[in-house]
Amino acid sequence: MTARVDLHSLTGEKTRPDWLEQAIASVARQPVNLRIMDNSGRATGQGRAQAYRESAAEFVACLDPDDALLPGAIEACIAALDANPAAIGAYTDALYIDESGNVLGPDSSTGSGPWTVERSLTGAGHTEHIAVMRRNAVLPFLAELENYTGMEQYFLHGMLATVGDWIHVEQPGYLFRLHDDNTHNATPIEIRHATRQLIRQRLTAAGRVAIPRIDVHVLYCYEPVRWIDDALISLAAEPVNVHLCKGIKGQVGLARANAFRQGAAEYVAFVDADDAVVSGAFQAALDILDSRPEIIATYCDVQLIGHPEGVGYFKAPWTPLAQLFGPSEVHHLHVMRRFAVEPHLAELERWDGYEEYTLMGLICQFGQQYHIPYPWYRFRQHNAYPRAGAIGGDPLRKAAGRRVLPILYPLIKAGVCQ
């Protein structure tokens, strides 16, 4: 009797026969039609698209040849889809295993509780392992799927979220093997970012997420890829457009100015590529800026990454005096009105140190700053690599102070404060 799920597994040059045997054995008692396909020399997306096109079953799924299914996984997903005819797919939780097949613990990327559309923004793992999808929902996206060498499942699952809901089946259904040759480990950061942004654009166009109101740029230069990806993942579900911008060694002010020119949203912000934000950070800023037109920019407290909660930089309400004499006082997370930033971009290009301090002073020509007393920003303190630009030293510090003094002093004299 033909099963209701067509499941394929793509093999290639690096497929280990022993792991493939384990994967096939895990399918033996599952209600699926299994197809093993040699995908050597082709993009992963091409093989997946072919398998889905040539399927004839009601549902489709895939199993990587280095992983395995757990008993009951397919049945649980089918049951969930039968009970929810409008849903486009169902997925289970997963367990990590090592190269020898020993269970290491749960894969926490799927999270807990019902699926939400935000989970299709933040990462590929949120709707994977094992994912059973309605074939008719998959077919419209196969031409685009063929273009993906990595992130193909993330792309496809995000596209499906534009037309329907996923169901999270909260039981372990998949064994995910950790090893150095996992294809997602080799996917360039630019492709990961572009895929996330495409999913956001499509979800926005479908009315499934709100139109972003803030353009946020992430400048990267020396940062490890893992840190850059952590920063981007922390931004993925925020109400923002994210612009990943290559830094310019020795010209951080120029790179920053060019990045601010990206997009056309009402507000602008930036997150350093070795840092991250806490979920809700930008909405907290929008709540202030929308209700207080005299506020030109907001910033918040800072939690140090890798330290106990409550260890970081916690500041008093804003005053122009503290801003003038404390270069780190008005520092992260800046959310600024675009119209106040754009007039100063040409000048910003010339600052290769104290560029943030200078810009924060310059925009005070248009209004005052506002400190949000919560650590929405996560700051990584380290000496792992050189800064893209010069710190500047005392001469540049004094030059920056002289530049912003004529702007901040009248506010000090007038007693303006938060």
Domain ranges of the chain: 5-186, 210-413
What pLDDT, on a 0 to 100 scale, did the predictor assign at position 327? 87
Residue by residue, what is the 3-state secondary structure of 180-191?
Answer: CCCHHHHCCHHH
Instruction: Produce one character per residue of 252-262: b if its CB has 16 or more CB atoms within 10 Å, e if not.
Output: bbbbbbbbbeb
Element (H, E) at 164: none
What pLDDT, on a 0 to 100 scale, did the predictor assign at position 385? 57
What pLDDT, on a 0 to 100 scale, did the predictor assign at position 182? 65
pLDDT at 26 over 70: yes
Q: Tens digit of pLDDT for each residue in 49-91? A: 999 999 999 999 999 999 999 999 999 999 999 999 999 999 9
Give the three-class secondary structure for 80. Answer: helix
What pLDDT, on a 0 to 100 scale, did the predictor assign at position 121? 83
- Please identify, in words, the CATH class of the domain defined by 210-413: alpha beta
Phi, psi of 193 (to 5 degrees): -65, -45
- Give the distance, in angstroms, between the CA of residue 397 and the centroid of all CA atoms in the same chain: 34
Residues 6+ apart with CB under 8 A from 116: none
In terms of pLDDT, which residue wins out, 370 or 233? 370
Residues 6+ apart with CB under 8 A from 182: 66
**Sign, CA torsion 399/404/406/409:** negative
Strand partners of residue 300:
372
Contact 286, 295 (CB under 8 A): no
Instruction: Give the confidence band of 335 by pLDDT, cuts at 50, 70, 90.
Output: very high
Two domains, one topology: 5-186 and 210-413: yes
Instruction: Give the confidence band of 383 by pLDDT, cuts at 50, 70, 90.
Output: confident
pLDDT at 126 over 50: yes
Q: Tens digit of pLDDT for each residue in 155-164? A: 999 999 999 9
pLDDT at 349 over 80: yes
Least-confidence region, from 75-79, 107-111, 243-247: 107-111
Average pLDDT over residues 343-367: 95
Cβ burial, residue 54 (10 Å; 0-12/13-18/19+): exposed
Element (H, E) at 416: none
Average pLDDT over residues 362-384: 93
In terms of pLDDT, which residue wins out, 153 or 185? 153
Please name the CATH architecture into which domain 5-186 falls: Alpha-Beta Complex (3.90)
pLDDT at 101 over 70: yes
| Portion of the chain with pLDDT greater than 70, in percent | 95
Q: What is the mean pLDDT of the chain?
A: 92
Q: Tens digit of pLDDT for each residue in 160-187? A: 999 999 999 999 999 999 887 765 556 7
| Portion of the chain with pLDDT greater than 90, in percent | 77
- The single-letter DSSP state of residue 66 is T
What pLDDT, on a 0 to 100 scale, did the predictor assign at position 183? 56
Q: Tens digit of pLDDT for each residue in 185-237? A: 567 888 889 998 999 999 999 999 999 999 999 999 888 999 999 999 999 88
Instruction: Give the confidence band of 150 by pLDDT, cuts at 50, 70, 90.
Output: confident
Torsion-angle region of 323 (φ positive above 0: left; ψ -120 to 50: alpha; else: beta)? alpha
Least-confidence region, from 105-119, 218-232, 358-372: 105-119
Angle 133-198-11 (CA atoms, 0-180°, nearest 5)? 50
Average pLDDT over residues 256-272: 97
pLDDT at 388 over 60: no
CA distances from 240 to 213, 225, 282 (A): 6, 21, 8
